Structure 1
Amino acid sequence: MIRCIAVDDEAYAVKIIADYINKVPFLELAGTTTSAIDALGMVQQGNIDLVFLDIQMPELTGIQFLKLCGSKCKVILTTAYPEYALEGYEHDVLDYLLKPVAFDRFFKAAQKALNYLLPAVLPPSNYTPSAPLPALPDASPNYIFIKGDSKNKFLKVGYDDILYVEGLKNYVSVFTPLQRLITYQTLRDLEAQLPQPPFYRVHKSYIISLNKIRMVDGHTIYIQDQAIPIGETYRDGFYKIIREE
C-alpha cells in the first residue's frame, strides 16, 4: 500500500482528495490537513510515501514545501493555477492535477505513483494475500454535499438535478427543478467541486449545467424559463464547447 496524505488549505478540497484516495485499493489514507506545516511534520516522521499537495497555501507554498521535504516522499500537486506546472516538475513532482480534479484523472496520477513506488510498496516475495483486492471503481460520485443552514447539516444533491448555480459574494444559490438551495460558499469554491463537463462557468455570477440548456440565443442561455447571460470573458470557451458537442 502507498501511504498518502492530502494537503489543502480548503477543507472541501481535502475531503475530495481523501475520498478519491479511499476509492483506490493500492492507496492508504494516512492523514489529512489544511496546514502545510503540519503536513511537513507528518512527512518528516518518515512513514509517508505520497503527498497530494495544493500549491497555494498561506503558511507555506507548495514549492516551499517541496524544497523542505526533499526526497522524503513523492508529491502530486493539486491546484487551480496551471502556470505553476513547470516549476512543480522542476522539483521532480510525479504529476500535476488541475482543479477541479476528476476521479479518472486522479486515478491516472495514482497509477503513475504506483509504477514509480512499486519496489517500495510491494510485499515480500513469500507473501500470500488473504483476500483478493477489491474491484476498482468505475465512476466518480454523481452527487455533491451542500452545507445547510446549521453547523452540521449537509444536503445531498445529485449532479443531474442541478440546473444552474448563481453566486452572490460569499453565498451561492443552487437551483434544481424543485427547489433553490442557498449555502454560505463562494462560487469559485463550488466550481472547484463540480465536474466539468457537464458544468461550465458562463458568467462571473453563473455556472450552468450543459445538459439542462434549452436554448442559446445570442449571448443568453435559457434553462427552463430562466435567462442567463454569457459573460464576455467566458464566451469563446462556451461557444467552442457547444459547437463541439
Structure 2
Amino acid sequence: MIRCLAVDDEAYAVKIIADYISKVPFLTLVGTTTSAIEALSLVQQGGVDLVFLDIQMPDLTGIQFLKLCGSKCKVILTTAYPEYALEGYEHDVIDYLLKPIPFDRFLKAAQKAYNQLQPAVAATPPLLNQVPAIAAPAPEADYMFIKGDSKNKFLKVSYDDVLYIEGLKNYVSVFTPGQRMVTYQTLRDLEEQLPKPPFFRVHKSYIVSIDQIRMIDGHTIYIQDQAIPIGETYRDEFYKLIREE
C-alpha cells in the first residue's frame, strides 16, 4: 500500500482528494492537513510515501515544499494554475493535476505513483502506527467552487442551494433559485465532486438534487417548474434510490 497525505488549504479540495484515495485499492490515506508547514513536518518524521500537494498554499508554497522536502517522499501536485507545471516537473514530481480533477485523471496519476513507488513500498514494513497524530480528516464541506467567467474567478455555491445541473458538451449550467451559473467544465467531472446523495445523475445531460424534487411523474422529475427527463440508463438505480429514502 502507498501511504498518502492530502494537503490543500481548502477543506473541500482535501475532501475530494481523500475521497479519491479511498477508491484506489493500492492507496491508503494516512492523514490530511490544510497546512503545508505541518505537512512538511509529518513527511520529515516518516511514514508518508506520497503527498497530493496544492501549489498555492499560504506560509509555504508547494514549490517551496518540494525544495525543502527533498527525497523524503514523492509528490503529485494539484492546482488550478497550469503555469506552474514546468517548475513542478523540474523538482521530479510524479504528476501535475489541474483542478477540477476528474477521477479518471487522478487514477492515471495514482498508477504512475504505483509504478515508481511500489517496489520501495513493498520492501518497507508498514509504518502507519509510527505516523504521529496527523490532522483529522477535514470536515465535509457543504459547498463547492465553480469556475467563473475569468481566469482566476471562482463562485462559491452551497450544495443546499443547487436545484439541478445541466450539461452541454464542455459546459455546465448550475441552477439555484433565481440564478443560472455557467462554467467551463464537463458534467462528468462535476459529478465526481458532488456528494451522493443528495446529488444523482438521472440523464446524460442532468444531475438533480434529490432534496429539491417536487414530484416524479412517470419518467419525468419536476423541480420547481422545470421538467427533467429520467434517462433509460439511469432509471433502475434512481428508482431504487428513492424507494430507499
Query: Does TM-score exceed 0.5, indicating one fold?
Result: yes
Q: 1:198 to 1:15 in 2, by over 3 A?
A: closer
The answer to whether residue 140 in structure 2 is matched with residue 140 in structure 1 is yes
Secondary structure in structure 2 of the residue aligned to 1:66: helix
* Cα deviation code 1:152-178 (max 9, x no counterpart): 111111000000000000100000012
Output the CA distance in 1 between the equivalents of 2:15 and 2:138: 20
> Contact (CA 8 Å) 2:162, 2:174: kept in 1 or not?
yes
Partner of 1:158: 158
Partner of 1:32: 53
The answer to whether residue 117 in structure 2 is matched with residue 69 in structure 1 is yes
Uncovered stretches (5+) of structure 1, i.e. residues with no partner: 7-11, 35-40, 74-90, 93-114, 124-132
User: Could you state the TM-score of these two structures normalised by the residue count of structure 1?
Assistant: 0.59
Output the CA distance in 2 between the equivalents of 1:210 and 1:56: 25
**1 or 2 for the larger relative contact order (CA 8 Å, sep ≥6)?**
2
The answer to whether residue 129 in structure 2 is matched with residue 118 in structure 1 is yes
Identity %: 55
Q: 1:177 to 1:15 in 2, by over 3 A?
A: same
Output the CA distance in 2 between the equivalents of 1:239 and 1:15: 28
Secondary structure in structure 2 of the residue aligned to 1:146: strand
Q: 1:166 to 1:69 in 2, by over 3 A?
A: same
* Cα deviation code 1:71-129 (max 9, x no counterpart): 445xxxxxxxxxxxxxxxxx89xxxxxxxxxxxxxxxxxxxxxx95122x349xxxxxx
Secondary structure in structure 1 of the residue aligned to 2:128: helix
Partner of 2:33: 22
Shift of 1:219: 0.3
Q: CA RMSD of the aligned region, Å?
A: 4.2
Output the CA distance in 2 between the equivalents of 1:51 and 1:149: 28
Shift of 1:51: 7.6
Output the CA distance in 2 between the equivalents of 1:45 and 1:185: 35
Aligned 1:3-22 pairs, distance under 5 A: 4=5, 16-17=16-17, 21-22=32-33
Uncovered stretches (5+) of structure 2, i.e. residues with no partner: 20-30, 41-50, 56-65, 78-94, 96-101
Output the CA distance in 1 between the equivalents of 2:53 and 2:75: 12
Partner of 1:219: 219
Secondary structure in structure 1 of the residue aligned to 2:39: strand
User: Could you state the TM-score of these two structures normalised by the residue count of structure 2?
Assistant: 0.59
The answer to whether residue 205 in structure 2 is matched with residue 171 in structure 1 is no
Partner of 1:183: 183
